[in-house]
Structure 1
Amino acid sequence: MIWEKTVLYGMQGTLVIKKEQLKELKHCKSELTNIKEEFSDSKSSIKKPGLSSTTWQGSLADSFKSVRSDMKSAYNDIYGKQLNEVFKKLNERINSLNDEIHSLGQDISSLKKKIEKLEKEEKQSRH
C-alpha cells in the first residue's frame, strides 16, 4: 500500500504540473491573439507614405517600392502562414494536455479506490 500511495502522490504532482502548463499555454494563446490583432491593424502602415509625382521619384522611389513590396511579402508570410502554424501547434498541445489531464484524473481516481480497498482489507485482517 505504501507503493500505491507513493505512486498516487507522484501522479497528483504530475497533474498539478500539467494543469499549470495548460494555464500557461492558454495565457500564451490569449497574448498571441492580441499580438496578431495588433499586427493585423498595422498592415496599412506598409503603404505609408504614399508615393506620387510630388513625393519621391526615380531610382529612390523604385528602391522604396521594392523594400515596401518585400515588407508586404514578409508580412503576409508571418500573418498568413507562420502565425497560423504557431496557433495550430498551440491548439494541438492544449488539446494534448487536456487529454493527459483527463486520463491522469481517471488514473488517480482508480488508484484512490484501490488504496481505499487495500486499507479496508488491511483493517479487516487486523480484527
Structure 2
Amino acid sequence: MDQSYQINILKNYIHTLNGQINENKIHIAKLQLVQRNIIKNQEELASNQQLVEKPPLTNDTWEGKYATEFSEYRRTIKSEFNDVIQVQIETLLENIETKIVQLSNINEDHYSSIVSHRKKITVLKHS
C-alpha cells in the first residue's frame, strides 16, 4: 500500500475520531446540564414534601372514618415522595453520571488513538 494512501487513511480516521469527540462533548455538556436541573428540582421537591402534612389533622379538626382514610392517603403520598426523591431520582442521577463517565472514557480512548495515528503518520512521512 502506498505511503500517501496510508497517510490519508490515517488522517481521515483522525478526522472521524475528532468528530466523535466533539459529539461526545456536546452530549456530556447536555447531560451535565440535565443533571444540575434534576438536582435543583430534587431539592425543591424535597422542600415541598412537608406540604403533604398540611393542614395537620387533629381530633379537634377532623376525625372519623374519612379522616383515617385521608391520613392513610397522606402516608402513601409521603412514601411515594420518599421513593421519588431518594430512590428514583438518585438512580436517574447515577445513570446520568455513568453515561458521562462512559463518554469521557471513550473520548480519552479516541485521544490516545489520535496520538498513535499521528505518530504513524510521522513515521510514514519519514520512511
TM-score, length of structure 1 as denominator length: 0.87
TM-score, length of structure 2 as denominator length: 0.87
Q: Say what the alpha-carbon RMSD is for the aligned residues.
A: 1.4
User: 2:116 is matched by which residue type in structure 1?
Assistant: S
Q: Residue 62 in 1 paired to residue 68 in 2?
A: yes
* Corresponding position of 1:49: 55
* Corresponding position of 2:80: 74
Q: How does 1:1-127 map to 2 (within 5 A)?
A: 1-121=7-127
Deviations 1:51-89 (A, max 9, x none): 123322212211211110110111111112111211221
Looking at structure 1, the residues matched to 26 and 121 of structure 2 have their Cα atoms a distance apart, in angstroms, of 27
* Corresponding position of 2:3: none
Identical columns (%): 23
Which runs of 5 or more structure 1 residues have no equivalent in the other structure?
Answer: 122-127
Q: CA deviation at 1:39?
A: 1.1
Extract structure 1 runs of 4+ deviating beyond 6 A: none
Matched pairs, number: 121
Q: CA deviation at 1:116?
A: 3.0
